[in-house]
């Protein structure tokens, strides 16, 4: 559905995206993860025709997206920065969305307004941060766009509202399948929504895989160092913590049954690394990206 | 419906809402002007006048020109970000702006033209002498079609110019005003030094000058719009 080839974007001398290559399939929910400044928002803004690319290709259904009305109409982006116009009544934003999105579902919008308890007569800039986010979520959900992008959809929302949104999203996705990209920092909360995860690091795609496959490679090994090291030699180490005599080592690599049983025999506890921690270890220093024991 | 048609429909919807409010207020002011002239004839004259001749509706043109400035700025500071954030391309947006400018200019010219044609009868009936010679047309001798056409062209030139100003201002922010200030100083300097005397020749071919100006404004606005990103608040 989306094909991105050698995508570069620079702001002045700062190169934000450094050769992104991605293929996204139709009717899947993708999680886009990355540290601040790794280019998530820039990538989403280029995909949705909000900003120009420096070079490369972004295609939707085989056609270039930039300034292509035929494809841009299939995209809805909900940005954490709002709509670029703050002095506007919420009902006017919905009115504009109703007129501009071909698949807009007015009935569903009304239902969501009630569900989120939103006052549409207020001006957007008079709403709390959480309520501003709700306006974006309603636009994103009711747009029924074939590609719906949520950039930080949980800003300012309390836990109850966030879970309400996740449930509504899943429910709506089942009834109206489409491609959804969610960029968020609250990874564990939404990990169950994602079918695939894309991790950006330093302006490049570091990992793109199914959540299950990523989680399958992330292990915490808890035990004595001398019992762990022989088994994980040449494995990708992403984390290390010492507790007196024992040590916790995080690896991002394959562990076969033989290796697992060797570790267990040596009283090494094996557990899975949650997605959020895995993301942190994979992208933070000093183990940024992992290293191996020589 | 194509995305081009949807943005045109949305823009026109917004424009006609604004026009309804604007004309509502303007017509009320005109009516009050007529009443004022009848009751306070000896003390005040409402509207524009030349010796003993008066026109209240003629005074609308000042308000119309101000309306166009506000209207053009609203297009870029309100509708442009909303449209781009809601998946309209810049190209489609600008095409809808031009079409809307044509329709709105014509609509305003038509109403103003009809009012100017009716006004002399009302003013004469009230016992005053109507002003009918407006330099570029005469409501006594020229037909309604001619008057509307002349005003439509004048309004469209004006709205094209202010569309360019609004597009530049939105794209460059405060830097636009710095550039305008610098150009103004340069203009005054050149005017005093006689460097701008060639403008007399250009203005003598007024239709050609304004025709070129209108096309240039629209072409420049198009390229500026294509290269403008939506601005978001910081923080």
> Mind listing the pLDDT tens digit of every residue in chain A (294 residues)?
899 999 999 998 899 999 999 999 999 999 998 888 889 999 999 999 999 899 999 999 999 999 999 999 999 999 888 888 888 899 999 999 999 999 999 999 999 999 999 999 999 989 999 999 999 999 999 999 999 999 988 888 899 999 999 999 999 999 999 999 999 888 888 888 889 999 998 899 988 988 888 888 889 988 888 888 888 888 888 888 888 888 888 888 888 888 888 888 888 888 889 888 888 888 875 555 455 554
Per-residue pLDDT tens digits for B148-165:
999 999 999 999 999 999
- pLDDT surpasses 90 at B118: yes
A72/B78 touch (CB, cutoff 8 Å), yes or no: no
- Which residue on chain B is closest to A79 by alpha carbon? B85
Per-residue pLDDT tens digits for B170-179:
999 899 999 9
Q: Which residues of B touch A82 (CB under 8 A)?
A: 232-233
Q: In whole angstroms, what separates CA A11 from the centre of its chain?
A: 23
d(CA A29, CA A195) in angstroms, rounded, equals 5
Of A279, A273, A274, nearest to A201 by C-alpha is: A279
Helices (H) and strands (E) in chain B, counts: 8, 3
d(CA B186, CA A50) in angstroms, rounded, equals 37
Contacts for A9 with CB less than 8 Å, ≥ 6 apart: A15, A16, A17, A39, A42, A43, A46, A51, A53, A54
pLDDT reported for residue A184: 87
Residue ranges of the alpha helices (H) in chain A?
40-47, 69-72, 90-100, 106-115, 129-143, 159-175, 187-190, 211-217, 225-232, 257-265, 275-283
Count the alpha carbons within 13 Å of A176 in the hemisphere toward its beta carbon. 17
Phi-psi group of A117: left, alpha or beta (phi > 0 → left; psi -120 to 50 → alpha; rest → beta): left
- Asked whether the beta carbons of B98 and B218 are under 8 A apart, the reply is yes
How many Cβ pairs within 8 Å bridge chains A and B? 85
Q: How many residues does chain A have?
A: 294
Neighbours of B145 (CB within 10 A): 9
Q: What does B2-56 look like in DSSP terms, one character per residue? A: -HHHHHHHHHHHHHHHHHHHHHHHHHHHHHHHHHHHHHSTTT---SEEETTEEES
Q: Between these two residues, B234 and B24, which has the higher pLDDT value? A: B24
* Facing B82 at nearest CB: one of A72, A77, A96: A96
A63 touches chain B (CB under 8 A): no
Confidence of residue B218 (pLDDT cuts 50, 70, 90): very high
A88/B2 touch (CB, cutoff 8 Å), yes or no: no
B4/A73 touch (CB, cutoff 8 Å), yes or no: no
Q: What does A175-217 look like in DSSP terms, one character per residue? A: HS--EEEEE-S-HHHHTTT-SEEEEEETTEEEEEEEHHHHHHH
Domain definitions of chain B by residue range? 3-172+205-226
Per-residue pLDDT tens digits for B27-48:
999 998 888 877 776 566 677 7
ipTM at complex level: 0.82
Average pLDDT for B73-80: 92
Q: Three-class SS of residue A145?
A: coil
pLDDT reported for residue A3: 93
Triad A26, A29, A35: Cα angle to 5°? 125
Residue ranges of the alpha helices (H) in A29-105?
40-47, 69-72, 90-100
- A74 vs A146, A194, B87, CA distance in Å? 5, 21, 8
Let me know if B184 is exposed, middle or buried by CB neighbors in 10 A (0-12, 13-18, 19+). Answer: exposed
Q: Which residues pair with A181 in a beta bridge?
A: A30, A149
Peptide bond into A286 cis (omega under 30): yes
B10 touches chain A (CB under 8 A): yes
Count the alpha carbons within 13 Å of B206 in the hemisphere toward its beta carbon. 6
Q: How is the beta sheet containing B53-55 ordered, strand by strand?
A: B48-50, B53-55, B129-130
- Asked whether the beta carbons of A84 and A151 are under 8 A apart, the reply is no
A50/B86 touch (CB, cutoff 8 Å), yes or no: no
Q: Which residues of A touch B77 (CB under 8 A)?
A: 85
Neighbours of B19 (CB within 10 A): 19
**Proportion of chain B above pLDDT 90, given as a percent:** 54
- Asked whether the beta carbons of A139 and B87 are under 8 A apart, the reply is no
pLDDT reported for residue A285: 55
pLDDT reported for residue B4: 86
Give me the domains of chain A, ranges plus CATH numbers: 2-212 (3.40.50.300), 216-284 (3.30.70)
Q: Which residues of A touch B75 (CB under 8 A)?
A: none
Confidence of residue B70 (pLDDT cuts 50, 70, 90): very high
Q: Which residues pair with A5 in a beta bridge?
A: A57
d(CA B234, CA A102) in angstroms, rounded, equals 31
Let me know if B182 is exposed, middle or buried by CB neighbors in 10 A (0-12, 13-18, 19+). Answer: exposed
pLDDT reported for residue B205: 67
Residue to test with chain A: of B16, B85, B233, most A Cβ within 10 A: B85
B70 touches chain A (CB under 8 A): no
């Amino acid at each position: 559905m989306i094909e991105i080839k050698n995508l570069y974007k620079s702001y002045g001398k700062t190169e934000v995206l450094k050769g992104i290559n991605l293929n996204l399939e139709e009717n899947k929910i993708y999680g886009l993860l990355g540290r601040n400044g790794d280019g998530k928002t820039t990538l989403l803004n280029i995909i949705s025709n909000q900003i120009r690319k420096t070079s490369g290709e972004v295609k939707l259904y085989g056609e270039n997206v930039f300034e292509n009305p035929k494809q841009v109409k299939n995209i809805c982006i909900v940005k954490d920065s709002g709509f670029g116009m703050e002095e506007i009544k919420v009902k006017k934003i919905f009115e504009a969305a109703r007129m501009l999105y071909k698949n807009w579902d007015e009935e569903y919008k009304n239902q969501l307004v009630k569900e989120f308890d939103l006052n549409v007569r207020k001006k957007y800039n008079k709403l709390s941060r959480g309520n501003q986010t709700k306006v974006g979520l309603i636009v994103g959900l009711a747009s029924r766009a074939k590609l719906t992008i949520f950039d930080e959809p949980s800003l300012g929302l309390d836990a109850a509202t966030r879970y309400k949104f996740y449930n509504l999203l899943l429910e709506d996705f089942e009834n109206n399948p489409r491609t959804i990209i969610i960029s968020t920092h609250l990874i564990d909360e939404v990990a169950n929504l994602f079918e695939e995860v894309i991790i950006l690091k330093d302006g490049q795609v570091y990992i793109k895989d199914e959540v299950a496959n990523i989680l399958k490679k992330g292990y915490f090994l808890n035990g004595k160092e001398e019992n762990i090291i022989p088994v994980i030699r040449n494995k990708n180490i992403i984390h290390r913590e010492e507790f007196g005599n024992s040590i916790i080592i995080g690896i991002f690599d394959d562990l076969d049954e033989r290796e697992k049983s060797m570790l267990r025999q040596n009283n090494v506890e094996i557990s899975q690394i949650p997605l959020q921690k895995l993301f942190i270890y994979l992208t933070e220093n000093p183990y940024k990206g992992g290293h191996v024991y020589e | 419906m194509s995305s081009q048609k949807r943005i045109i429909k949305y823009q026109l919807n917004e424009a006609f809402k604004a026009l309804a409010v604007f004309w509502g207020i303007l017509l009320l002011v005109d009516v009050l002007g007529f009443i004022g002239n009848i009751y306070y004839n000896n003390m005040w004259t409402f509207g524009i006048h030349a010796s003993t001749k008066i026109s209240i509706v003629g005074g609308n043109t000042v308000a119309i020109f101000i309306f166009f400035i506000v209207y053009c700025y609203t297009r870029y500071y309100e509708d442009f970000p909303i449209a781009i954030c809601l998946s309209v391309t810049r190209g489609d947006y600008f095409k809808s702006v031009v079409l809307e400018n044509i329709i709105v200019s014509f609509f305003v010219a038509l109403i103003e033209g009809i009012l100017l044609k009716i006004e002399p009868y009302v003013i004469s009936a009230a016992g005053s002498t109507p002003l009918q010679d407006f330099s570029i047309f005469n409501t006594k001798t020229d037909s309604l079609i001619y008057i509307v056409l002349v005003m439509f062209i004048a309004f469209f030139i004006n709205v094209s110019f202010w569309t360019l100003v609004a597009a530049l201002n939105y794209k460059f922010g405060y830097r636009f005003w710095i550039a305008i200030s610098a150009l103004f100083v340069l203009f005054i300097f050149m005017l005093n030094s006689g460097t701008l005397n060639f403008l007399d020749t250009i203005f003598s071919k007024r239709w050609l000058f304004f025709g070129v100006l209108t096309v240039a404004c629209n072409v420049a606005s198009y390229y500026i719009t294509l290269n403008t990103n939506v601005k978001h608040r910081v923080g």
